[in-house]
Structures are given as structure tokens and as C-alpha cells.
Chain A
Amino acid sequence: MPINKDPSTPPPVIGKIGPYTVFMTPPATPKPPESPAAVSQKPNLPPPVLPPPQQFKSVASSEQDGSVLGFFKNAATKVQNAHSSVDDHLVRWFGLNQSKYQWALDEYYEGKGSKNRKKQEEGFRAFKRTKFCASASFYPEPPSASPSTLAAMIRGGRSHLTSPPSFSNDAKKLLVCTGNTVSVFSAATGLQITSLEGHTAPVTTLLVVPASTAAQKILSYCWTASLDGMIRYWDFSGPELLKTVDAKVPIYSMVIPSLLSEPQQVDSSKLVAYVSVEDASLVKEGSKELRGHIRRFDLAKERLSRGDTLKETEEPKSIVISPSGEFFGIRHKCKIHVWGVPSGGGSRNAVAKKMTLHHTKVINAFAFHPTERIIAAGDVTGRVLIWRGFGNRKLALGSQKKSVRSVVDLDNPGVRDGDDAESCTTWHWHSAEVNVLNFSSDGAYLYSGGREGVLVVWQLDTGKKKFLPRIGSPLLYFIWSPEPTLSSVVCADNQIHLLKMPSMEISRTISGIKVLCVFGFQPPPSLPKMYEGLSSTVAFDRSSGIAALCTENYCVQLYNLLNDRGISEVQVCERNHQPGDEITVVVTAVALSLDGSVMSTTEVKLPEDGIGGLVSLKFWESEPDNKTFTLSTIVYEPHKDAGVSAIAFHPTRSMAVSTSFGGDFKIWVCNSDKSQTDKDSSWICHAVGSYKKKPMTAAAFSGDGTVLAVAAENVITLWNPDKNILLSVLGATLTPITKLCFVGKSEFLVAASNFPKPELSVWNTSKLSLSWSYELRIEAVTSAVDSSTFAVLALVPKSFRKSKSKKNIFRGRDGAILLFNGSDPKPVSIWTVMKAQGGSISFLEGDKSQLRLAYVNGSHEYVVFDPNSDDTHERSAIGYEGLVGDEETGDFGYTSLYGQLPDYDKKRKDDAESLATPFVSSERPWETIFSGSTLNFPPLQKLCGEFFESLMEKSNSVVE
């Protein structure tokens, strides 16, 4: 075993390397310390006089690491200091004044031109935050890669969480608001069928027109409302846009009571909606005007008058409507405002009557009973309040309700402030806030859920409870379908679970890309601040376009970026995640080998009061062609107590390197070559190395795998990974290096450091010298395997963004992707992006012809585009054509409960058909209309026309 250590390191300590490995103490086979002889062994001695590299930063020359190289470096720096003032290229980029992209940027923003859109977005975000209070942001800002070279683009990772989903009338489809579109999923397979595209801002409300009779169940119409101020009416089986109403103000919530109360007369001309809007005219900076308005809106007149305002609040509120369509209401701090819907629909003068229910805590969610006058409300402390018989006095509807006593009854138990309710009871099970409240369709049960990720079913009469525990994420919505056996629950980690109802089993999960909320996680206090955010929580399988993301519930989610679909989850740590609990175990890093067959993860168990605590490194292997990873090796404490800073895989062989803050790196190899059976394959430590006991912060293999670069704080050490020989040391940067990346097959090496002074530097490994560097804070680096291009994700400094001339350009985008080519310090392309903090980029090179760049931002939305093409064509992540065929016809209703009835008619039919066949010509054209999946059926009106037409054609042929 070749082991080579730097001479200045003290003798190796006998310690454990970890189970599954042969116990090895690294004997030092040292080199003469800091002698010139050591340098002279290097294959390529740098030429004594170097052309001064382009250096933006003035380098402090006090750095003296004693090596000859460091001396050269310092000498070079001194020369540079004399010459370098400001880097021309960077000014060009930052200033963008002379940039060739400037015109494109200007044009783009002028074309878009909507000034207040950003404000709307912000408002919406605030609105959402108040609603959930759970996690950072659920609002899908697509990582808008802007302007000039917008490529053939796949966007995805949209959040499923912005507003409650909805089932279609036959319960076979689930409609989910995903950003600007509405996605339609199949409830049977969990795959996306189609999407409704047209809104230009996030969709906030989705109302499926309910069916009153069984025959109408195939009807598939829905209303959507969006922040772009549009209300649209769709036929989602098509999908086809039928109608658009412009409300001119951003709509945050909308209800249409008459859809529920009088479903028979669905006449879109007479519909009246109640909308929650934000009056943009009143929005000023710092004004205390009441921005949120609840208004009555006549969908026929397409006009929203201020006179119809029912209530004004500081922020737009979401409206909750009773399933019967009689009442709707909003929650406002500790109060619930309830309006009764005036009967008789369209009459203009009928003003909705209003009443208020009071509570002492802030109310988080509430729901109406489907038949009786019962309101359930959940507050921030986890209590569930049930008001029975509300509004008997104030909301007496119509003449028949007049008989209800109107005497003020003072001994209403539990009712506060003389509210109009008969009684109020409180149930307390939830330990944290209640986010989900919903009555079952028959009104016998109440579903509640919240931060704990437990769905509780209360029997309304008795208060008895049933639970669906261990969902693993805060619940956001619970909806039931027209089918009694199916319901759905939406979680804060972007998962939609379909529940099989009486037993409450999770039958299927529609998984979006998981949102990472590492709020509350602090890195172990032993780590200095400069190492924060060092290990990557996103890894890419370049060939298949799969991203592996660390999630909160100790899993790694494998997500197909090209199809926008979750593939599987790997439980890294055998624990259940309890949202809201203190985080004690964190999956800190994930890495995938180049071919995607091996995954490596690290997890940290944080100690309690100095007791316990464990770092473990795991290797997972997958069978070729299926992405189910199985645990191959666990290494406990791979670097003693120290945390793992980076993992990198060898490009061709099964070899990996892990570096640690403890000052050493270890090379791991898979011993499967020796043993014939795959089951026995395990990863063992091949070599240990260290450089002057400096913390090792990053590692990368070169494109052909012959050189291993390990960053030892602020120098880069190059090693032969097989023999573990130190090849050479690349001079010092100012600050610890956090990212390393070899540029394809060229001799360049990219290094990035963040804290306290950010720096991006490119080194020439053949000349062992610095090529150029920028003062840029880099979040991620990636390079293409075959070409010499590489891309970095840079955070644009705040001070720079805020300066007046550029404010318009960046508009909330805090990062930029820069594409470089080899040694050229001029970026080839630039894209500005949102939420770059914590983002990650990677080249995807599945088919050799096309090189694509994937960018996943901090909130796990992503975009995949071709960095070299100028094509501005964008396409959605899903090839619908391929998916429609996947539709599976499941059993529903009666058949799902009791199985298929024997088909007595069948025989008769067969007989009839066998009789009929002689007369029916086989090429009857209208038969083809009905062939194919039922989901592809055009709407009835169309079908009728076509059908009759075909009949006529046939009669013609008969005449002939």
C-alpha cells in the first residue's frame, strides 16, 4: 500500500479507519521536508519567469509557505500588484455597459415591461408565508434564465404546494397548481397527463365544476384564477381554454358559490364569484393601507367595481367556502368572518350578510361542515375549535329561517364575545399549529393536520381519533375526491400522497422535487465559519440526467430532471423524520460516480451536550439500469471526529476520495474486482494522505483519473491516486479553497474559495501556475467531460446589485452562470438567475451530440438548457405524448370495494355483436373516433358533430 505523508505531519496515530476496512495505520514514507530537492522531483518545473497572470485581486504577499513554488507565486504576485489595477474583463461584465449583451438585456426588460409584477410576486410570497409559516418559501419562481442566449430549455421542479389541488369529477385525475400552469395527474398511475398553460403568473385558485348527476361525471371543466389578474375557464380533458375573464387585479383566492349550491344551472353568464384581490393602486412603499380586498365579482360583466368590496384587510386572505355553497369566509388574525351567500344568485342588490367568530389565538385554518352549520378552526397552538350552529341569528337565510329564535341566548357554552353560535368545543391533540382542516364529504369526520406531519381523523360526534402517522413532513392540504375511497394529502416537502381511504394507507405518491429546508441546522460548532456550505447536497448523474438531492427526512431523492419526475428515494439514515423537532441528524453530502452506479453519502449525528455524535460515510451501489441503490459499505468515523468536507469519484474506476477538516484525505477503492460475487463487494481504504496537517477542503480527479487534486486549505496538492505520491503543490490562494474542478481533458484546474475573500482562480497544471482569477463568490463549478468548457455559478454581490444603474437588470436575480472556455478569462455566455444561494450546476451529457447545462437553485427548482445554442425555444419537461399511453385504468367506487361484478350483459352483447357484424361494414369511419384512451376524448359537443358527420358520409356511400 503506497502511503505518503508530508514530513511535517506528526507520526500517524493508531486509530480506527472504520469497519469494513482493513485496519491500517498510515506509515509515513516521508519526503525531505521543504527541501529544494523535493521540488526538483516534480515533473514540470515552472519556468523561472512567468507571464503575470491576470489577477483582479491584489494578493497579500505575506503568505510564505516555504516552498519554492510559493516563492515564485509571491514573486509573481508582487509583479502583478505593481501592474494590475482593475481587470478589464470583469469590469466589462459587471458594468455590462459595453457588453454585447446589454442591448439584449434592455430589450428583454422593455419588452416585458411590467413594473409592478415584482411587487405582486412579493405580495404573494408574503401571503403564502403567513398562511403556512412552515418553511422558507413555497412559491415557485422558475429559475428564470434570462435573456440573450436562452436555449432549448427544460424547466421543472415546480412546487406543488402553492394552492390546494383538486380532483376531477370522476376522481381519475388530480389537478395541481404548478406555478404558471395547472398540471393534470392521473390518480391511478401518478404520472402527469397534461397541463393547462396560459396564465403568465402563478395560479392561485383552481375550481373544478362539480357534477350534480352521475351522467355529468365525465364533464371536466374548471375555473382558474391567477396573479396575472385573469380568470380562465378550461376544459381540462382537451385541454382547451374556453373563456377568459380579465379582473385586472391580482387574484389571490376565488370562490364561486353557485357552482356548489345550484349545480344544475351552470350557466357561465350568470355566475358570481367572490375574489380576494390585492388592490395594486393602493400599494405604496410603507403605507398602512389595507391592500387585501374581498370583493364580489360578476363573471359575466367582467368588471370589478370597488363598490362590491365586502372586507378590507392588510393582506389578501384566502377565502374558504362551505361545501354546500351557502357560506364563505376568511380568517383574519383571531377572527373568522363569515358571509352568507345571498340566494338568487345574480341579483345585484343582494348584499351578503356578515358575522364574525372570535378566538384568543391566531387562527391558522378553518373549514365548513358540508351540511350543518358547523365551523371547525385550528389555531397556532394546535387547538381545534368547533362552533356549532353559527349564524342562526345573523345569517338566517330566506323566509323559512325566520322561525329560528332570535332571542340572545347568553348561556351558549364556550362561545366568546356573544358570537352568533350555539356552542363551541375545543379539541387539543396537535402540539404545533394546525394547517389542515377538512370535513369528510358526509360530515361525519373531521381531518386535521399540521406541523407534526400526522393526519388526525376525528369522529365529529364523539371526538374519537384515528391517526396516519409518520408522513414525515408538515401537511399543507387535505382534499377528498368524489370517490369515497380516494383522498389526497399535500405535504410541505412537495409530495402529494394519494390515500386509500377507509384504511388511510398511502397508495401512491406524486413526488415533486423535494424542498430543502435546513432551517435550524447549524454546522457543528467545531467547524470554522469559512467551511459553511462546503459539501454539496446535490449531485448529478450526467448520463441519465438524474439529480440526487439530500432531503430533510434523511433521504436522498433521485429526481429525473429531463422528465420532471421523482424516481425513488434512498433512506440514508434509518430514522423517521419528525418535522418541528430539533435537527440532530443531517445528511450533509451526496456524490454520484460519473456513470451513476455508485453513490456516496455522509451523515452527521450531532452530539448532545458533548455526548455521542458520529460522522459516517456510506457507499451505495445500484444495479445497472435501475436506480435502486443498496447499501454497500458503512464507514463510521471515516476521519476520526472530523467532518467530511468533500467526496469525489474517479471518472473511470471504482475509486473515491473523501477529504476532511481533520487534515487528511482517504482514497477508497471497491474490492469487488477481487471477489467474484457482487454481494461481497465493499469499499476499503486504499491510502491516506495529508499535507502539513492542513484541513482538506475540496477534492477532484482529473478527466483521465491520473491526477487527484486536493485542496489543503489554501494550496492545491496534486497526487497520484494509485501510488499516493505527492506530485506537486500549486501555490497559495488567499483564502481556503472550497471547490475544485478539472476542466475536461485540458490542463486547467478551477478553484473557488469563498470566505472571507471570494476568489475564482484557474490554474494551469502543466505549468503549475495561476492563469487568471476573479473576485467572485462561487456556489458551484462544473466542467464538461470532453470539451474544455466549464461553467461556474457565481453569487452577485448585493452592493453591486443594488446600485441604481443595474437594479433594473438584476431584478431580484442574485446570481449568474458564467460559461468559460478553457483558459480564456472572457466568459462565453452569461445568464442571470434567481436564488443562486445554495444552488448547483452540472453539465448533462447523455447523448454525445448534445451538451446541456442543468441548474438547480436554492429552493430546488431547476432548468436544463443547451449552453451553446441561441435557440430561444422553451419546452416543458414532460413529453406528454409518451405519457398518455401510460394511463392505467384502475377500479373505482363499487368495483374497488367489492370487485368486478360478473358481466351478465356481456354474453348478450357478444351475441348482438356477432349478429350485427354481417351488416356492419368494418371500415365505418366513426368507430375510429372512439378508439383510444378515454382521456383523449374530445368534448361531447365536438364528438357529436364528428359522429353525425361520419354517419352522413356513410349514407352517401350507400346512395352511391
Chain B
Amino acid sequence: MEEELRVRLNDHQPSKIFPVKPKSTPKTLSKPETPDSRYWSSFKPHSIPNLVSSISAVAFSPIHPHSFAVAHSTTVSLFSSNTLTTSRRFSFKDVVSSVSFRSDGALLAASDLSGTVQVFDVKERMALRSLRSHKAAARFVKYPVHDKLHLVSGGDDGVVKYWDVAGGTVISDLIGHKDYVRCGDCSPVNDSMFATGSYDHTIKVWDARVGNSKWIAEINHGAPVEDIVYLPSGGMIATAGLNSVKVWDLIGGGRMVCSMESHNKTVTCLSVGRMGLEGENRIVSCSLDGYMKVFDYGRGKVTYSMRFPAPLMSVGISPDSSVRVVGGSNGMVFAGKKKKKARDDEEKKKASVVTSFWSVKSEVDESRRRALRPSYFRYFQRGQSEKPSKDDYLVKESKGVKLTRHDKLLKKFRHKEALVSVLEEKKPADVVAVMEELVARRKIVKCVSNLEEGELGLLLGFLQRYCTVERYSKLLMALTKKVLETRGEEINGKEEFKGILRNLKREVNQEIKIQQSLLEIQGVIAPLMRIAGR
């Protein structure tokens, strides 16, 4: 019986009401969004302008709330990652090349091009130590991941220095690089291991415990090394040189795992970012070509790429992966911040506490609602929102076609009003669809001649805006011509139409120019293709 009823209900004729529909637009053939692209595009962009000169380095504090230091020109600015505003500034005598936080986030080390490495107290804004030993510009300084007492720095003199911060003395000079040392990173698993990269194309891995100032491993990148980063496992490093990023297996004897060469210009900075708190790690690289790319080194694939309006100098991802900071060469910091879910949860908790005062009442309500029986009067006053109970048989009503205002007017053959009403809605696709329907009814000319002054202005404004849009131009160009022909006198007389007409003329001229240049390009290409065909 149920089956039969359903068959009967579905048997009726299809609706014969056809609302005016805009032409369907082509579906994009691009792949659906990947988790990577979803994650990396979910940072809400927030740019910080007005910093002097290029952003040479970015460093995040390892301690919550993970404020970050941005080195630009002779200044290091400390930003709060919640508000993305600057809170403190540290001044130097020369251009700052690198910054690094200590593991407890209390101290900050920075190197400048005069060769000095300075250590600051973050809270007191005080220079605690000034370490001078480099004979040329110092290029990088790094605190070991857990060690609070030592520092690693390197510079244009080709020497890597291992510092005792408290005493302000060099423990060991590690000599081996034949050119400028530009970058280095400390192992996340062993506080005495660190790797440095140099313009002599090599990456050298050092161990501070080995006394003879000899590297324990050497890797040739094949290009001047710009940046180096340890991957979280501690067994692998990623290096950037020229436009390639290479991943090396240190434990496996310096074997290259994979390489990524999708940047067009020199890769300036690398960083490791985690997708969420439990997600996989990715290498984030930025380059002078203005692209930030996310590299999945597990699969050897670039999973996301984002373009910025300036050459990029530095990149940093906060340890809780809620903030991403990219520094440009023009003094812009392109920060991006994820919305914090944790805080949302907290707020929710608070809200629930507030509502719990009222929950007693709502429970009462619910019990009452459940108790509705045909014996109550209110049973018969149930509204549409009433949910069906389990054993109710649901009769589905066929949904009527929803008609918009212009559809209703078209149905009543009030063509001009339909046109005006759709023009007011400012949806160009709908307007063109209504116009096409009017053409099919042979009424568009009459509509145009019947338009009153204000409505004519509306139509002219629409035509001016959209008549050169490729999708609509075939219809709208002809219509524009018709409007100008039939209503020419009225349009000429009015002051307010002058601007529209002027714009219209400009648009058309521009379009003609574009067509002209396209034809020229075609003329250039055609003989080439012909030759290629031969």
C-alpha cells in the first residue's frame, strides 16, 4: 500500500512553470580542494606595513603566546602573535641579519653585519651580552633547542663559533668552510649538534663535543646555500640553494631524499610548519619570486603555493602553527593568523555555564512538549515546525517552483516592470536572462521604448557596465545600439546621462583596442604555428 501510494504521488506531470534562468556557466575543471590547500589558505591575512628596509629574519618564541621577533634594518621588533602589533623594539648599530630565541623565551640573540652578536632580555629590553669575535659580518646566530647556555653563530669570515653566553667567550672556532657561512640550524634532538651552510656549496654538520674543530659530516648542495633547517625528527635536514630545496638524510650518510625546484628565483628562507597540532610536517619555503610554497617532503610534492606582491626574504611558522609570518624585501610583513579554536571552546564553556541557569526551565518546556496528546487543545495548534513522530506516515508535498519578482511579472506579461525590477536587483546574469526571455517574446524593443526617464538611466547604467563583458556582449551590444537609436533624443537632452554615455564610449573604445591587440598577437602567432606545422 505504501509503495503504491508513493507511485501515485510521483506520477503527476512535471511542473510546467519555467522560471527565467541565467545561462549556466562552465564548471571549472580544477581538482577539488585538498586538505593542504584548505589548511594553508585558512590563515586570515594581515599585513604589517611601514617597516624600514627588507625583513631579514623572523623568529618565534618557543613559549606561549609565541610572540615573534622581526629583524629589519638595524632594528628587531617584537610582535605579539595575538594582536599582531609591535610591543618592543631593540636597536642595533648595524643591519641585523639573524635573530633567535632561547628555549625559555626569556632571552633573544641577534647578529648584525658589524660582526657583533648581542643577547637581550626580552622583558627588560636590556642588552645582557655583546659577543664580539667575528672578523666580518655575522650572518646567523642560533640558540640550541634546549640548551640555555650556548650559542652558535657564523659569518662572512667563514668561521662557525660556539659561544659560552654567560662568560661571553668563544668555546670553539669551527673552521672548515671555504666561503661565507650564511646559515645554520641546531639539531632538535641533540643540543651539541648543529649544521651550517655556506656559499662554498657545502653543508657541514658539527658536534661541539668533538674537540678538534672538525666537521662530522659534509653535504654538497651544488649551489650556494642560502638556508638550512633541521626537520623535527633530527635525522634529516632541508637546504635551500639557488632555486632548489633539497632534503637530506643525515643518518643515512648524507643521502638526498628529494629535491624541489618549483621556485623561479633564489629561495631565501626555509621553515618547518605543522598542519595543525597533530598534522604532518611541511617545509615552507619562500623565494625572491614572491612565492611561498608548501612542500610535502614525505611525498615529494608541492601541495600549496601562494603569491605575495614582493620578493620574500624570510618566513616563520609559530610552534603552535597558529601564525605564519612572511617578510618581504620592501619592508612588508605578511602575517597570517588562524582563528583560535581553543578560545572558542572556552567561550562555549562559559556560555554553557550562563545558560545552565535557564536549563531547568527549558527541561520543563521539553517535557511538556513531549507530552502533547490529542487530549490537549494545544495538540491541535501545532505548527509546521512540529516534528513527526516515529510511526507517522510522511506525505511529501511536491515543492512548488519558487518565483522571483521578475518571474511573477513576466507571468503577468508586465514586461517593462519585469525588466526594471531585475535591473534593480543588480545581478547581471539574471538581467541578461530576462532580456533573452523578452527577445523570445518579441517584446524587448517595446520595453525599451516604454521606459521612463529614471528607468532608462538604470538601463543605460547597466549597459555601460556590462556591454563589453564577453559573456553578455553579443546581446548587450545590439541592445545598446537599439537603445541609443530609439531613445537618442531623450538621452541627448539630459545632463545626467552624459557621464554614462561618456563611460560607455570609453568602454567600447577600450574593447576595440583590446580586440585590435589580440588580432595583432594572432597575426604574430599564426605564421609561427604554420612553420611548426610544417
Contact = CB atoms under 8 A, between A and B. Distances in A.
Interface string B15-27: 0101001011111
Nearest to A637: B474
A611 B440 contact: no
A268 interface: no
Interface stretch (A13-21, A242-250, A330-338): A13-21
A614 B436 contact: yes
A470 to B, nearest CB: 5
B252 interface: no
Contacts of B127: none
B26 A20 contact: yes
A32 B478 CA distance: 40
Interface string B204-241: 00000000000000000000000000000000000000
A574 B407 CA distance: 14
Q: Which of A7, A21, A32, A613 has the most CB of B within 10 A?
A: A613
A19 B16 contact: no
B400 interface: no
Contact of A610 (B441, B478, B533): B478
Contacts of B25: 19
Contact of B522 (A11, A21, A31, A637): A11
Interface string A552-574: 00000000000000000001001
Given A506-B13, A574-B21, A575-B18, A612 B522 contact: no
Nearest to A506: B13
B436 A612 contact: yes
B251 interface: no
Interface stretch (B137-145, B311-319, B452-460, B523-531): B523-531
Interface in B397-455: 435-436, 439-445
Contacts of B445: 608-609, 611
Interface residues of A, number: 42
B512 interface: no
A637 B474 CA distance: 11
Nearest to B14: A571
A767 interface: no
Contact of B27 (A7, A20, A605, A613): A20
Contacts of A608: 439, 442-445
Contacts of B478: 607, 610-612
A246 B482 CA distance: 68
B16 A470 contact: yes
B439 A612 contact: yes
Q: Which of A21, A584, A611, A634 has the most CB of B within 10 A?
A: A611
B495 interface: no
A609 B440 contact: no
A309 B117 CA distance: 130
Interface residues on B, range: 35 or more
Nearest to B20: A574
A14 B529 contact: no
A30 interface: yes
Interface in A728-752: none
Q: Which of A14, A19, A608 has the most CB of B within 10 A?
A: A608
Contact of B526 (A11, A21, A605): A11
B277 to A, nearest CB: 34
A543 interface: no
Given A28-B526, A29-B532, A584-B439, A611 B444 contact: yes
B103 to A, nearest CB: 51
B386 interface: no
B29 interface: yes
Contacts of A212: none
A368 B25 CA distance: 56
A574 B18 contact: yes
Contacts of B18: 574-576
Contact of B16 (A21, A576, A584): A576
B475 interface: yes
A27 B529 contact: yes
Given A19-B25, A609-B482, A28 B475 contact: no
A636 interface: yes
A505 interface: yes
A38 B478 CA distance: 43
Contacts of B475: 611-612
A584 B440 contact: yes
Contact of A605 (B21, B439, B523): B439
Given A19-B24, A20-B27, A28-B533, 16 more contacts: A11-B529, A12-B522, A18-B26, A27-B525, A30-B534, A584-B442, A605-B436, A605-B440, A608-B442, A609-B444, A609-B445, A610-B482, A611-B475, A612-B436, A634-B23, A641-B474
Nearest 6 A-B pairs (CB), nearest first? Answer: A612-B439, A11-B526, A29-B533, A19-B26, A574-B18, A611-B478
Interface of A: 7, 11-14, 16, 18-22, 27-32, 470, 472, 505-506, 571, 574-576, 582, 584-585, 605, 607-614, 634, 636-637, 641, 682
19 contacts: A18-B26, A19-B25, A19-B26, A27-B529, A29-B529, A506-B13, A574-B21, A576-B18, A584-B440, A584-B441, A584-B442, A608-B443, A608-B444, A608-B445, A611-B479, A612-B444, A634-B24, A641-B474, A682-B27
Interface of B: 12-14, 16, 18, 21, 23-27, 29, 435-436, 439-445, 470, 474-475, 478-479, 482, 518, 522-523, 525-526, 529-530, 532-534
